[in-house]
């Protein structure tokens, strides 16, 4: 009697694998040829999808973009344009292929757009999956606008202050009596132009916010954009009358005032000429910033100044300046058309004031050395620097695709995202660019990757697992180290792909 045959487990398994492979190939072939729906549910947002309302939302800084996932899509293409035609070479200002997730970060600091009708930017998305490509989505749009006109806030003798504007990279001040436009990085300006004989006793001035284009050289967008002018204010001019060297906050908002360069006040006659020096050491040997030659006892750093009639940049002094030893001194305020670097990194600084003489040949010369003036009297101040706001440790501003294929944001520690999440943050004051790093651990921090962007969001190209990320601003207007402090790290969990048998 023959013994029963043992099952050929290896042959059976091999056969099943062949059948499974054939079925998978057939299914994959069908998937590759299956038509894809055009993306829908397009929305622009600041921090999380759904946080912005309106058919055509308005932003004061570059938003991120999101849309509903398309079944069968493995990647998306996004286009941003200045018109509905999306004309290559003229209308399209940014285009990118997005992997897997229905969220995109625009790496441009987009200016405010107010000089066109309808004054909006348009964007659209299409999906790719296998050999299939969907049609373009119906275009969506958003507007870039200043948050409003600045308003005067309480100041003091010799200078004025105004409210800050969200998304502003600086301010233009119109000194109506002097026919001059002054560009400044801080929400304050001095009245140096009026501290002389024969000038008006009162200043008529207006102010508007500026926003510069960063991250793109396209001519379709303005290099500098402006918010609306404020009302015309009239302020009395009078010497500061300071009894000693001191600084006050240029910004009225006490929560962020230290992050701006301060207003410098010092004893001085109304018509006396003075030169302010800022140093990084108490002996005043390392000069990091110096003023134009100014009259009166107040100085606020200016980035540039132009004539309102000719629009030609005006010099901060009407003649060369030299030290007490005769060496030429270039004022920090004498910058290119796009603005001088008159900001400083975070830290403690010292400053002093040197009297200046106007010579018969039209030049200016310091009467004392910086070290001698510093030995007689000096002041000090602490300059701060803001950090980006990444959200709460348990709920960062991170969005992407859930393992179940839905567009979600992290609102609790248990939320996981699939693919490459897009993370956003609240802007850091004075930052013109941002750097983001990610690590597998919070402590010790070991940087795995780095990304830089001109907007306030970025895509993290992370693998599945638990990640920590942090961000810091980069101050392109700073004279010296431009890197600002790191934010506190926050955590995001990235899920591995999941599969199920479908047939």
Tell me the mean pLDDT per 10 residues along the chain, length 503. 40 35 40 78 96 91 96 95 82 90 96 80 95 96 94 89 94 92 94 85 94 90 94 86 86 79 92 96 97 93 84 84 95 76 95 96 96 96 95 94 93 93 96 97 97 97 96 94 96 80 43
Q: Which residue has the tokens 């109304």?
A: 270
Asked if CATH classification 2.60.40.10 holds for the domain at 391-495, the reply, yes or no, is yes
Residues 6+ away with beta carbon under 8 Å from 29: none
Distance CA 139, CA 121 (A): 10
Residues carrying CATH 2.60.40.10, the chain = 43-144, 391-495
Q: Count of CB atoms within 10 A of residue 56's CB?
A: 13
Residue 94: both structure tokens together: 């940014």
In this structure, are residues 187 and 162 in contact, taking their beta carbons and an 8 Å threshold?
yes
In this structure, are residues 425 and 456 in contact, taking their beta carbons and an 8 Å threshold?
yes
Distance CA 92, CA 164 (A): 32
Neighbour-count burial of 217, counting CB atoms closer than 10 A to its CB (0-12 exposed, 13-18 middle, 19+ buried)? exposed
Q: What pLDDT is attached to residue 78?
A: 97
Residues 6+ away with beta carbon under 8 Å from 162: 150, 151, 152, 153, 171, 187, 188, 207, 230
Asked if CATH classification 1.20.1250.20 holds for the domain at 43-144, the reply, yes or no, is no
Q: Which of 116, 74, 115, 76 is nearest to 95 (CA)?
A: 76
Q: What pLDDT is attached to residue 9?
A: 37
Written in H, E and C, the secondary structure of 152-175 is EEEEECCEEEECCCCCCCEEEEEE
Q: Which residue has the tokens 């960063």?
A: 214
- The secondary structure of 386-405 as a DSSP string is ---B-EETTEESEEEE-TTS
Residues 6+ away with beta carbon under 8 Å from 335: 303, 304, 341, 342
Q: What pLDDT is attached to residue 503?
A: 41
Sign of the alpha-carbon torsion through 276, 282, 287, 289: negative
**End-to-end Cα, the chain, rounded Å:** 42
């Amino acid at each position: 009697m023959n013994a029963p045959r043992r099952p050929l487990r290896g042959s059976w398994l091999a056969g099943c694998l062949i059948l499974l492979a054939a079925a998978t190939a057939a299914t994959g072939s069908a998937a590759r040829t299956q038509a894809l729906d055009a993306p829908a549910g397009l929305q622009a947002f600041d921090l999380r999808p759904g946080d912005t309302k309106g058919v055509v939302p308005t932003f004061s800084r570059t938003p991120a973009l999101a849309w509903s996932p398309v079944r069968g899509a493995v990647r998306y293409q996004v286009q941003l344009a200045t018109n509905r035609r999306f004309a290559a070479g003229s209308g399209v200002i940014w285009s990118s292929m997005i992997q897997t997730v229905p969220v995109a970060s625009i790496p441009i600091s987009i200016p405010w757009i107010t000089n066109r009708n309808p004054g909006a930017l348009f964007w659209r998305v299409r999906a790719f999956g296998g050999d299939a490509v969907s049609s373009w989505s119906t275009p969506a749009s958003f507007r870039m606008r200043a948050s409003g006109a600045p308003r005067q806030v309480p100041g003091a003798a010799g200078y004025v202050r105004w409210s800050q504007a969200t998304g502003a990279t600086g301010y233009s001040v119109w000194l109506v009596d002097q026919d001059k436009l002054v560009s400044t990085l801080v929400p304050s300006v001095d009245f140096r132009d009026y501290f002389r004989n024969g000038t008006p006793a009162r200043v008529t001035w207006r102010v508007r916010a500026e926003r510069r284009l960063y991250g793109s050289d396209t001519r379709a967008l303005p290099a500098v954009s402006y918010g609306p002018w404020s009302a015309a204010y009239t302020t009395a001019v009078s010497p500061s009358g300071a009894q000693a060297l001191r600084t006050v906050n240029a910004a009225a908002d006490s929560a962020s005032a230290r992050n701006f360069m301060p207003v410098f006040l010092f004893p001085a006659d109304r018509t006396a000429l003075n030169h302010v020096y800022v140093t990084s050491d108490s002996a005043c040997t390392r000069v990091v910033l110096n003023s134009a030659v100014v009259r009166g006892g107040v100085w606020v750093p200016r980035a540039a100044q132009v004539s309102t009639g000719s629009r030609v940049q005006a010099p901060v002094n009407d003649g060369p300046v030299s030290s007490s030893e005769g060496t030429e001194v270039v004022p920090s305020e004498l910058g290119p058309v796009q603005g001088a670097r008159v900001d400083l990194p975070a830290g403690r600084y010292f400053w002093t004031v040197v009297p200046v003489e106007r010579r018969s040949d039209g030049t200016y010369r310091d009467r004392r050395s910086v070290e001698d003036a510093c030995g007689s009297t000096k002041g000090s101040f602490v300059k701060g620097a803001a950090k980006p706001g990444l959200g709460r440790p348990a709920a960062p501003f991170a969005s992407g695709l859930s393992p179940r294929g839905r567009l979600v944001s992290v609102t609790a520690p248990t939320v996981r995202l699939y693919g490459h999440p897009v993370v956003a943050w609240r802007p850091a004051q004075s930052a013109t660019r941002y750097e983001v790093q990610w690590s597998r651990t919070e402590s010790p921090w070991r940087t795995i990757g780095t990304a830089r962007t001109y907007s306030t969001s970025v895509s993290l190209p992370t693998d599945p697992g638990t990640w920590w990320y942090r961000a810091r601003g980069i101050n392109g207007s700073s004279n010296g180290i431009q890197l600002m402090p790191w934010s506190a790290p926050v955590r995001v969990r990235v899920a591995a792909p999941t599969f199920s048998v479908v047939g």
